[in-house]
Amino acid sequence: MTMQEIDIMKNMDINQTNPNLMELTEIQIDESLPKQERILDFIKKIRNPYCFKCNGVMIKLEFSNEGMSFEDGMVQYLIHKMESTNS
C-alpha cells in the first residue's frame, strides 16, 4: 500500500462510500498469524481502515497532531451534557 493510497482512503467522503463500507463486526481475524500479517490481513478485509461500519453505524476515523485528544473531547462532552441536563 502506497502513501498515495492511504491519503485517498483518509480523505474519502463517508457519504459517498456508504454502499461500499465493510461491516467491522463481520471481519474475522486469524489470531494464529504474526502481528504484522494480522494487521495487513485486517486492512485487506476492511478495505478502508478509516471508513467502515460498526453494527450498521458509519464510522470515519480522523487523527490530528494538534488539538484535543479523543479522551479530553469525551470528558468535555459528558460534562456539557450533565450541565445541560441539570439546568
Judged against a pLDDT cut of 90, whether residue 37 lies above it is answered with yes
Judged against a pLDDT cut of 80, whether residue 86 lies above it is answered with no
Judged against a pLDDT cut of 70, whether residue 87 lies above it is answered with no
Domain boundaries, the chain: 3-86
Q: Are 50 and 21 in contact (CB under 8 A)?
A: no
Query: Which position has the grid cell 480523505?
Result: 11
Q: Rounded CA gap, 23 and 46, in Å? A: 8
Mean pLDDT across the chain, nearest whole number? 87
pLDDT confidence band for 73 (50 / 70 / 90)? confident
Q: Are 29 and 44 in contact (CB under 8 A)?
A: no
Q: Are 26 and 56 in contact (CB under 8 A)?
A: no
